Structure 1
């Protein structure tokens, strides 16, 4: 049987519908929509995660950065699969133009004409101890100063340095 037919059969008879409904929560209530999935090898609830996410692209105007929302999705997915949020440690390393998405609303408003749509998401993530780092090299290039950042954002020497230190602390890099 050729690969295309095999793929079609898997899609047609898979227990997960192709038009699955994505819902938000239970950890980050207003962000991070995920679908229910019947896993081949379900998680046990004993898993521990230490994951770093890397974001360089600025979000769409007026919307939370979709890449930042990936952290909310990760937390929500694990919780639905039975892994308690306290067993999930996440870090967000931001560089490039995405640094503008970390500006406090006053500074964001001055630059873009509206409140920072990322502020509520980042505040919700930080309630679950998500560590947020801005690349100092990108900040210097784009003229972003420490005093302009949202609360809880840490200025790193560089994104490369932040990732190297996080790896030494046991974090893996999420490729998405």
Structure 2
């Protein structure tokens, strides 16, 4: 019986392709806020109310390979680009990035990161751009202590809280949800 279902499914896919009902893969694009980060694809028939707001915290604990952009940081840029592209006002996005664990060292200014890792910090440009768009970038003080990261070594605009747990608790009290991706 499973074989019949598989054949029927294959037949349906072939029929859809032949009738033009199956479409090509959409192009992922940058923008409209970030021109070098946060590629996203258009999705038809998605709408938001005129005053739609989002209060979302992103949690990142794992570092990228030295010198590379952390994919989780770029997810935040994608969130901004895709929502603004679909009509959400930038001023209606209240976003935070809470960083801990091995990703803590990615909060270092490039020259200090390079001293430790032998590569420039591939995240500084993106993090600075996110901060310029109003994203709160918060590093865990406990992880900073564990990794020997001092406040003075942080990228301009990054703030330190007592812990990642504290930062998330404070954000939750302000109505932020935690992005699970």
The normalised TM-score by structure 1 is 0.89
Match for residue 176 of structure 2? 171
Supply the RMSD in Å over aligned alpha carbons. Answer: 2.4
Q: Name the larger-Rg structure.
A: 2
**1:141 CA drift (Å):** 0.9
Match for residue 143 of structure 1? 148
| Aligned equivalents of 1:56, 1:49: Cα separation in 2 | 22
| Aligned equivalents of 1:16, 1:170: Cα separation in 2 | 40
| Aligned equivalents of 1:80, 1:168: Cα separation in 2 | 29
Match for residue 69 of structure 2? 64
1:45 to 36, 47, 50: 50
- Partner SS for 2:98: strand
Alpha-carbon contact 1:45-1:81 (below 8 Å) kept: no
- Partner SS for 1:71: helix
| Aligned equivalents of 1:172, 1:101: Cα separation in 2 | 24
- Partner SS for 2:76: helix
Alpha-carbon contact 1:31-1:72 (below 8 Å) kept: yes
Match for residue 89 of structure 2? 84
| Aligned equivalents of 2:80, 2:113: Cα separation in 1 | 27
> How big is each residue's C-alpha offset from its partner over 1:13-33, in whole Å with a ceiling of 9 and x where there is no partner?
8x8856221111111121000
1:30 equivalent in alignment to 2:36: yes
The normalised TM-score by structure 2 is 0.86
**1:113 CA drift (Å):** 1.4
Aligned residue-pair number: 172
> How big is each residue's C-alpha offset from its partner over 1:29-63, in whole Å with a ceiling of 9 and x where there is no partner?
21000001113x52233200110000000012322
Flag the 1:162–1:46 CA change in 2: closer, same or farther, 3 A: same
Farther-moved stretch of structure 1 (155-164 vs 15-24) = 15-24
Kindly report structure 1 stretches of 4+ aligned residues shifted beyond 4 Å. 2-5, 15-18
**1:124 CA drift (Å):** 0.8
**1:91 CA drift (Å):** 0.2
Match for residue 27 of structure 2? 21
